[in-house]
Structure 1
Amino acid sequence: MPDASVPADDRGLAYGDGLFETVLMRAGQPLLWSYHLARLAEGCRRLGLPMPDTAALDAELARPGAAALEVLKLVLTRGSGGQGYRVPDAPAPRLLVSRRAFVPSIVRWQEGVCVRLCDLRLGHQPRLAGIKHLNRLENVLARQEWYDPGIAEGLLVDTDGKLVEATSMNVFWRAKGQLWTPPVTRCGVAGTLRAALLDARVVAEAELSFEVLAEVDALWVANSVQGVWPVHTLLDPRGGTLATWARTGHDTLQRQGHRLLGYPGSFRNEAE
């Protein structure tokens, strides 16, 4: 059974020693579940944690939902014990599970969003790159950079000036007729919707320096819960606008991404 609370000596609380997954549930069914399990398994391998008991996960998924759309959050910690940073010889991982009703932002699907470039630069740590570990302080600090509700997300670049992700979403762009997303081999989170779009060959990986970000043909932020938000404005953190984009043509990324999540597809009527 999943734990209902976290004691003060839990290593996830003390050190961020653990992992989490945030899963969209539609009519009680998890979306992109195989991708979430694969990322969780990879995170467990990297951190040296046993995978959660399959029966506990199955029991949670079988529980009737309270809403048509829900967000299931799984938090897996190493549990208690050990001495300081030294992990216990026989860890007893702790699994916490929560579910809440969810309503996506249709307006952001339709009208797009304004985002800003963050001042914070992501550091490189390949052993943690891609997985969804509990220590997200870089993202927390980046999200503290703005409080304007008109700004939907912040874009993060690494210490080399390469675009990586948004604070809680992956980033995609179009250039020369191709859809791209940055690699996340040195830092950042490998989102499950991103993984599915890569597997479907809707997008491919490429590096992009923030200096030329304003030159791309279109820009999106997306994740497996919120869906795909087209970006219409990119703001400079010191004030002013770095770029604007008009929505033209059929939105292939939104259509394909939303198909995977059961959301409505592109909101444009033009042919591709």
Structure 2
Amino acid sequence: MKKNKFIDKLATTLLTLAGLTILGILISFIFYILKRGLPVLTPSFIFGPPSEMEAGGGVGPELFNTFYILVLSLAFSLPVGLGAGIWLAEYAKPGRVVNIIRTSTEMLATVPSIVFGLFGMIIFVNFLGLGFTIIGGALTLSLLNLPVLIRVTEEAVRAVPKSYRMASLALGATKSQTLFRVVLPAALPRIITGVTLVAGRAIGESAILIFTAGTTVSRFMFDLNPFASGETLAVHLWYVNSEGLIPDATRIADGSAALLLILVLIFNLLLVIPTKRYEKKVKLN
């Protein structure tokens, strides 16, 4: 009995230390980036145009392209990803074809992003002749998002207790009514969590966009043309560090990194906080 208690306390202590270590590393990482980058984040830097050769450039177009490509990629991937996940969870009959689809989805989720970037360059940039464009980057990002969205949606829908479905059907609801009025509202918090992870990854993605959206921006500020070049913040961060043509490349990189981190944190909070409130509301009802 004493031995079991000792093992239990030891395991609890080790797990606590592991958690605190990870938390400490994360806090140190965030503090280091913000300490170097926050002094750079002035309005002229955040909304100003970039400079190719002279010091003092901003990241306004790159910031706009980051959100523009994110929105377009989600517009392409959400309907397909959510639809496929719901179909696999609710309508697909167990069999070889479904198993192949699930296995393929899991395999695609582990493919490095640079492979998707090369695929996007071959298909969208070269074969379809789109060149280095925002639309090409968004389409390739949507391919990266799809496997995760499908898997998360399927697991979220499957996690809804069967008693919810049985109660709805017993009250005379059809299967589609049960799906849209009972199952999906219950699965929504988990689905939103998956979308948040996908969106955060898309905001910080660079390898794919280097090969598809390019490393330049349009000569027009905040260009809505999907066929314009679409350098994002993450790509700009890589570009200024690798090329080194700008005299204040380190300053631009520090500011871009801090801005990226803040954007991801804000984006997560904007989705997570309403989701938690909705989840509590559903539980109370």
TM-score range, shorter chain: under 0.3
TM-score, normalization by structure 2: 0.23
Choose between structure 1 and 2 for higher RCO, CA contacts under 8 A separated by at least 6 residues. 2
Larger Rg: 2
